[in-house]
A and B are shown apart, each in its own frame.
Chain A
């Protein structure tokens, strides 16, 4: 008996140890990517603006993000005297934790996923929709006008763009027929389906900019109008947590774009000879290219005005994506290309067959039908008019 319990405990602890190790690998990987994302951002923006970017710390400035991290870690956390202490400290922690726990369902390669959830895409959507709380709580708890304005802006902005993002995801799900992220990657997509989804990729790329509060939609921060938005009262590690959370969210959204539209860990364009390169390399390259788009748009575009941002979300993207959901569903239906063949029949064929069947039955029993109709006609109108009446009802 003791042996059995020992065995179960050993197995369980092994599972636990394995999960903890994998989780640590993912968390450290994400945090390192965040650190070098900031480096890449400064270097790329430097190149686009004919500057050099960070150069002094380490070779080519490669140790700059580490130095920045140590600097933020060693500074003093200042809490405003009028702030709501608990909520003020909870907000950055929540934002940071949420940006990390979404990573458990991201498949980095075939089978390389911490939790292979059946509702993976909904999980990511749920977690990213909770991210707004960190920002709103920070804005409210700071008890400062600028911070409050930033929090309000973030709340309405993130809600607005989530709606169209949800509809875009519905478009992809119609094609893949599964909520599981691995199955979404592995689902077959003929070339015409990819062309059909391409406009959604564009809308999705713009929406993730708004969802993660990045330029040109960085109005919650908006340093030139509301100084720093919801982060204005934060310093040292609390600020660093916001920063880490924001960048981790950016990388998460890029990974999501890769999974939904760019084929995840599969080699590009289905070219088999280059499939000897491990899938995670392709995944990282694709994610990095979406991240480059983030930096590119930051270096290129000026900030939107707030009412224009709202207009774009509600009056342009929402009707467009709604129309596209109907279009994708209708196209898949009419070409009989719905996934899993949930609908195996052709609806047009079905209707035609039903009509033909009815006509056949009437033709086979035509004398009986005429007789019945004549009877009805006799009862209603008398025997003289029965012929014309009968014909009329038969045609109906």
Chain B
């Protein structure tokens, strides 16, 4: 148990420090790298909770894909973040409101405040100890929670279509490689063998 407690404080401590560094670092690329460190330590916390499947998916999706794209964009854009921060103070009331709501929700969870009796029915049940993590998830995901799962998928799909519609533009004057037409070319279409009699030239 000592090792678990030590690991928990290690992961939680690094997570908090790196989360703080994300918003305080001067260099945006450093911010993203600290964000990655934060994700990684959150995955460590999930492993301590016995949720190794979620931990691995967190690393694969957030660290391996989402944060890489963040890093990609932040590196490509040459933003001076000190200029961006100048008008930052006007958003402080808004930030306080959002932070307050999140804090309130956390308190509500930790004080076991029950709004309605029917809410108790929606609390996730602990998984049986003899069932593996991924198996337990698979047993409920496509049966009990199939509708929320499909709706989440639909939202992601709409977001993807939206992103493509917003950013895709056809630029004129660009010659694109058409692989199909290249493959369908035959020598007889483009080559012509001419018999040239000697001393007459082409």
Contact = CB atoms under 8 A, between A and B. Distances in A.
A162 B33 CA distance: 21
B65 interface: yes
A260 interface: no
Contacts of B65: 129, 159, 162
30 contacts: A118-B132, A119-B52, A119-B56, A122-B53, A122-B56, A125-B56, A126-B56, A126-B64, A129-B59, A129-B63, A129-B65, A130-B63, A130-B64, A133-B68, A136-B68, A136-B71, A136-B72, A136-B75, A137-B33, A140-B75, A148-B75, A151-B75, A152-B75, A155-B68, A155-B71, A155-B72, A156-B72, A159-B69, A166-B60, A308-B177
Contacts of B133: 118-119
Interface of B: 29-30, 33, 36, 52-53, 56-57, 59-60, 63-65, 68-69, 71-72, 75-76, 132-134, 177, 179
Interface string A204-242: 000000000000000000000000000000000000000
Interface residues of A, number: 27
Interface string A132-158: 110011001000000010011001100
A126 B59 contact: yes
Q: Shortest 6 CB-CB distances between A and B: which pairs? A: A129-B64, A122-B56, A126-B59, A126-B60, A119-B52, A126-B56
B201 to A, nearest CB: 37
B52 A117 contact: yes
Nearest to A124: B56
Contacts of A36: none
Interface of A: 87, 117-119, 122-123, 125-126, 129-130, 132-133, 136-137, 140, 148, 151-152, 155-156, 159, 162, 166, 179, 307-308, 311
A162 B61 CA distance: 11
Contacts of A130: 59, 63-64
A63 to B, nearest CB: 39
A263 to B, nearest CB: 23
A58 to B, nearest CB: 41
Nearest to B65: A159
B106 to A, nearest CB: 28
Contacts of A152: 72, 75-76
A123 B53 CA distance: 9
A61 B161 CA distance: 57
Nearest to A131: B64
Contacts of B75: 136, 140, 148, 151-152
Contact of B134 (A119, A132, A133, A156): A119
Given A118-B52, A140-B75, A311-B179, A179 B68 contact: no
A117 B71 CA distance: 30
Nearest to A151: B75
B71 A122 contact: no
A125 B65 CA distance: 12
Given A122-B53, A133-B36, A179-B134, 20 more contacts: A87-B30, A87-B33, A119-B134, A122-B56, A122-B57, A123-B56, A125-B56, A126-B59, A126-B60, A129-B63, A129-B65, A133-B33, A133-B68, A136-B71, A140-B75, A152-B72, A155-B72, A156-B72, A307-B177, A311-B179
B64 A162 contact: yes
B68 A132 contact: yes
A297 to B, nearest CB: 21
Nearest to A127: B59
A126 B71 contact: no
A118 B36 CA distance: 24
Contacts of B68: 132-133, 136, 155, 159
Contacts of A117: 52
Contact of B60 (A129, A136, A155): A129
B1 to A, nearest CB: 12
Nearest to A315: B179
A388 B190 CA distance: 70
Contacts of B53: 119, 122, 179
A6 B68 CA distance: 48
Contacts of A156: 72
A140 B29 contact: yes
A214 B30 CA distance: 29
B2 to A, nearest CB: 10
Contacts of A151: 75
Interface centre among B36, B52, B69 (most CB of A within 10 A): B52
Contacts of B63: 126, 129-130
Nearest to A123: B56
A125 B55 CA distance: 12
B129 to A, nearest CB: 13
A19 B72 CA distance: 38
A126 B54 CA distance: 12
A133 B68 CA distance: 7
Nearest to B74: A140
Contacts of A162: 64-65
Nearest to A162: B64
A26 B63 CA distance: 26
